[in-house]
Amino acid sequence: MKNCFSMALRYENGQISLLDQTLLPREERWLLVNNPTEMVAHIQRLAVRGAPLIGVAAALSLAHYAGKGASKQECHVALESLRESRPTAVNLMHAMDRMRPALEAANFASLLEEKAMEIFQEDVQLCERMAERVASHIQSGDTILTHCNTGGLATAGVGTALGGIRRAFEQGKKIHVYVDETRPLMQGARLTAWELEKLGIPYTLICDNMAASLFQAKKIQKVFVGADRIAANGDSANKIGTYGVAVLAKFHQVPFYIVAPETTCDPKCASAAEIPIEERNAAEVRGTNSPQNAPVWNPAFDITPRALITKILLDSGER
Ligand code: MRU
């Protein structure tokens, strides 16, 4: 397989490695991933995360496994367990469904490799197209709010919403980004702030519960966020807290944009009612500040109904 690199995923000399996103920003540690069982565990603990990147990482992991001599039957089992490793981001299912037909052929290892490379390169291109589109919606002087992390850490390319913000900055537009810290796992505080810092883009970190005051003070001109799955009617699942931001944006008449590649759209889900929402471990919410056994509800995503979305910005167009 040819080598390929992104900000958080490398395929190099027959080895896959991941930048362990659970350790950022304190430590930049790359982990070798030896087989799909390890990849499933890294996807589930969010060492690799972001809807597009988990699809790409799963595809590379499967191709790598076949290249190391796994049988067709072993690859089938691995494909299904990678596909089920996280339930909401549909990019993962789409990537695995695109890999599956290769398992019918005698030369399945080389076909899986070709397909995985195609999925990687395609994601880079999709990000480029989204970046141009998002940047065209940003004017110099804009103050932007974003939630979670949608940059180079979450895709094989420059990112979705954050990729567009970056593009606008590179075009010379004077912008300022407010970053929701994104409880409970702090993808905004740990990852988006880390990316913005590296890029030199001016930003301010806020706790999630400070966003309302910012809107009230008319400090936000536009909101750009990503998505994990977009239903046929435009209802969009994204990181928990996105819905609250959308409600605020609607109340304060601030444009609210979802940014995603076509690979995030799920025509099989008619509406939000059919999107499965991942529920995660109670320990992520409890932290050190609550009673040790406090009952917890920890959904990883929420749904923003289409009516609250000004526009869905896709690589292929706007809805
Ligand atoms: O749980 P995560 O960190 O994988 O959630 C990520 C998000 O919700 C992102 O906004 C989404 O995947 C889009 S990433 C380009």
The answer to whether residues 105 and 200 belong to one domain is no
Ligand 1 centre from 154 Cα, in Å? Answer: 7
Ligand 1 centre from 289 Cα, in Å? Answer: 26
| Structure tokens belonging to residue 66 | 């076949």
Task: Clarify whether 123 is annotated catalytic.
Answer: no
Q: Tell me the average pLDDT of the chain.
A: 98
* 189, 148 contact by CB (below 8 A): no
Over the stretch 157-181, which tens digit does the pLDDT of each residue have? 999 999 999 999 999 999 999 999 9
Question: Number of folded domains in the chain?
Answer: 2
The answer to pTM > 0.75 is yes
Over the stretch 114-172, which tens digit does the pLDDT of each residue have? 999 999 999 999 999 999 999 999 999 999 999 999 999 999 999 999 999 999 999 99
The answer to whether residues 231 and 256 belong to one domain is yes
Q: What percent of the chain has pLDDT over 70?
A: 100
Pocket lining: 33 vs ligand 1, CB cutoff 6 Å: no
The answer to whether residues 75 and 174 belong to one domain is no
Of 128, 156, 183, the last residue of a domain is 128
The answer to whether residues 138 and 173 belong to one domain is yes
Catalytic residue among 208, 228, 235, 302: 228
Sheet hosting strand 265-266, strand order edge to edge: 265-266, 229-231, 236-239, 301-304
The answer to whether residues 171 and 304 belong to one domain is yes
Pocket lining: 155 vs ligand 1, CB cutoff 6 Å: yes
| Structure tokens belonging to residue 73 | 């039957």
Pocket lining: 236 vs ligand 1, CB cutoff 6 Å: no
The answer to whether residues 166 and 81 belong to one domain is no
The answer to whether residues 215 and 99 belong to one domain is no
Ligand 1 centre from 165 Cα, in Å? Answer: 16
pLDDT band at 288, cuts 50/70/90? confident
The pLDDT, as a whole number, for residue 1 is 65
* 156, 53 contact by CB (below 8 A): yes
Of 93, 112, 128, the last residue of a domain is 128
Ligand 1 centre from 89 Cα, in Å? Answer: 8
The answer to whether residues 195 and 212 belong to one domain is yes
Whichever domain contains 81, its CATH number is: 1.20.120.420
Pocket lining: 88 vs ligand 1, CB cutoff 6 Å: no
The answer to whether residues 104 and 223 belong to one domain is no
The answer to whether residues 307 and 165 belong to one domain is yes
Whichever domain contains 155, its CATH number is: 3.40.50.10470
The answer to whether residues 160 and 290 belong to one domain is yes
The residue range of the domain holding 279 is 134-318
The pLDDT, as a whole number, for residue 5 is 95
The answer to whether residues 26 and 63 belong to one domain is yes
